[in-house]
């Protein structure tokens, strides 16, 4: 991971469009904080490069030959590889964003994102954060709510309401007001939600619920 000593974040870039791939690689390396250890043009090569180099972050195009980006992410998580992944995609479909996060993506960026945004996302993901482009977050929230409406998971109805609220960025006082509950009651539901999901904060609760398919 990025450190105070100036160690560069290692990255694999996977995209089948040479000009776009080269542009991303150049932008990352010009930042002076990122080292691209491999750039590849298909999904199988991406997975091979991740296994070989074990970079901190992999930037992967969604629509890439041989294995799509989500398949690469799935295999990376399945094989217990330490690399954290960011999916780059031209689609803003909430279902695709949801599936990427559920499979283990640490980030999801639109392909027209500025290079500075991509650099920033790579650095944040390397530090353990999760990133979804602001213009994609509404679609993700809508997808979560749609799936939650069909959910018959182990979470109680109140716990699901709290989870939806967290996905929308609402605070405990806001949820208490909307649900006509005391703040202490909402905190109790929140703690039970955390215990069931094995997490300790709101963002992790939403991500873990999606990863486990509890909102399916």
Write down the pLDDT at residue 1. 41
> pLDDT at residue 5 above 70?
no
Residues 166 and 63 in one domain: no
Residues 159 and 139 in one domain: no
Write down the pLDDT at residue 46. 97
Domain end residue (candidates: 147, 177, 196): 147
Residues 25 and 126 in one domain: yes
> pLDDT at residue 45 above 70?
yes
Which range (36-40, 51-55, 202-206) has the least confidence? 202-206
| Residues 6 or more apart in contact with residue 131 via CB below 8 angstroms | 86, 106, 107, 108, 109, 121, 124, 125
Residue 161 belongs to a domain: yes
Tell me what percent of the residues of the chain surpass a pLDDT of 90: 53
Backbone dihedral angles phi then psi of residue 19, each to the nearest 5 degrees: -65, -45
Residue 21 belongs to a domain: yes
Q: Using CA atoms, how far apart are residues 214 and 151, in angstroms rounded to an integer?
A: 7
Its domain, for residue 208, covers 154-212
Q: Using CA atoms, how far apart are residues 59 and 153, in angstroms rounded to an integer?
A: 32
Q: Using CA atoms, how far apart are residues 8 and 87, in angstroms rounded to an integer?
A: 21
Residues 135 and 169 in one domain: no
Under the banding of pLDDT at 50, 70 and 90, the label for residue 208 is confident
Tokens of 48: 């091979």
- Give the distance from CA 155 to its chain's centroid: 22
DSSP tally for the chain: helices H, then strands E:
10, 6
Higher-confidence residue of 166 and 81: namely 81
Residue 201 belongs to a domain: yes
Write down the pLDDT at residue 4. 43
- Helices 43-53, 69-78: crossing angle, 10 deg rounding: 30
Residues 124 and 72 in one domain: yes
Under the banding of pLDDT at 50, 70 and 90, the label for residue 37 is very high
Domain end residue (candidates: 113, 147, 181): 147
> Comparing C-alpha atoms, which of 50, 91, 53 is closest to residue 67?
50
Looking up residue 115, the CATH number of its domain turns out to be 3.40.50.2300
Tokens of 41: 């043009």
Total domains, the chain:
2
| Sheet with strand 9-14: strands edge to edge | 34-40, 9-14, 57-61, 84-89, 107-110, 131-132
- Following DSSP, what letter does each residue of 82-129 receive, concatenated? --EEEEEES---HHHHHHHHHHT-SEEEETT--HHHHHHHHHHHHTT-
């Amino acid at each position: 991971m990025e450190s105070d000593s100036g160690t560069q974040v290692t990255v694999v870039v996977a995209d089948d469009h040479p000009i776009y791939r080269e542009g991303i690689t150049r932008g990352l390396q010009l930042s002076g904080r990122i080292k691209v250890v491999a750039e590849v043009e298909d999904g199988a090569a991406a997975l091979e490069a991740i296994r070989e180099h074990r970079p901190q972050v992999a930037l992967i195009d969604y629509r890439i030959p041989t294995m799509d980006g989500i398949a690469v992410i799935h295999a990376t998580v399945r094989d217990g590889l330490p690399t954290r992944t960011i999916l780059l995609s031209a689609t803003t479909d909430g279902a695709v964003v949801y599936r990427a996060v559920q499979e283990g993506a640490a980030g999801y960026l639109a392909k027209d994102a500025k290079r500075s945004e991509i650099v920033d996302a790579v650095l944040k993901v390397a530090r353990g954060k999760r990133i979804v482009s602001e213009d994609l977050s509404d679609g993700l929230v809508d997808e979560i709510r749609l799936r939650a409406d069909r959910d018959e998971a182990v979470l109680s109805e109140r716990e699901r309401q709290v989870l939806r609220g967290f996905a929308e960025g609402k605070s405990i006082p806001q949820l208490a007001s909307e649900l006509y509950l005391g703040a202490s009651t909402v905190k109790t539901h929140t703690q039970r939600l955390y215990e069931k999901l094995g997490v300790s904060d709101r963002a992790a609760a939403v991500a873990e619920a999606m990863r486990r398919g509890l909102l399916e």
